Amino acid sequence: GAVVSQHPSRVICKSGTSVKIECRSLDFQATTMFWYRQFPKKSLMLMATSNEGSKATYEQGVEKDKFLINHASLTLSTLTVTSAHPEDSSFYICSAQTSGRPDTQYFGPGTRLTVL
């Protein structure tokens, strides 16, 4: 149980295009989802927290107009990287949390974004 999927697993796009990454909780309802980014050989950095049906809360230094987050249902959150540039290339990981286990986050497998 507690499986989180991400789609796509890898994406390559041209500079200036927008890319949407989906995060789904497959067998539980995720009241809260989190988005992280990870640079090579670095740690995860929290980008934003999203609760179903409400606006995402962004961490300091994260551009909300650049990284659009939508959490339209209890099983789906999307991260859209708008007008992507090479410096946006990174590994994006989502996690999901259920109200029944507030101390635990279940992580997705990550999405590798490469912007040419």
Partner 1 sequence: SQQGEEDPQALSIQEGENATMNCSYKTSINNLQWYRQNSGRGLVHLILIRSNEREKHSGRLRVTLDTSKKSSSLLITASRAADTASYFCATDPYGNNRLAFGKGNQVVVIP
Binding interface with partner 1 (CB under 8 A) = 4, 6, 32, 34, 36, 41-46, 49, 59, 91, 93, 95, 97, 102-110, 112
Q: Quote the least distance from Cβ 16 to partner 1, whole Å.
A: 26
Q: Quote the least distance from Cβ 115 to partner 1, whole Å.
A: 18
Instruction: Say if residues 38 and 45 touch (Cβ distance below 8 Å).
Output: yes
Place of tokens 């796009």: 13
14 vs 41 by CB, closer to partner 1: 41
Q: How do strand 111-115 and strand 10-13 relate by DSSP bridges?
A: parallel
Q: How far apart are CA 10 and CA 62, in angstroms?
A: 22
State the chain's maximal CA–CA distance in angstroms: 42
62 vs 82 by CB, closer to partner 1: 62
DSSP label of 86: G
15 vs 99 by CB, closer to partner 1: 99
Q: Quote the least distance from Cβ 83 to partner 1, whole Å.
A: 26
Instruction: Say if residues 59 and 50 touch (Cβ distance below 8 Å).
Output: no
Q: Quote the least distance from Cβ 19 to partner 1, whole Å.
A: 18
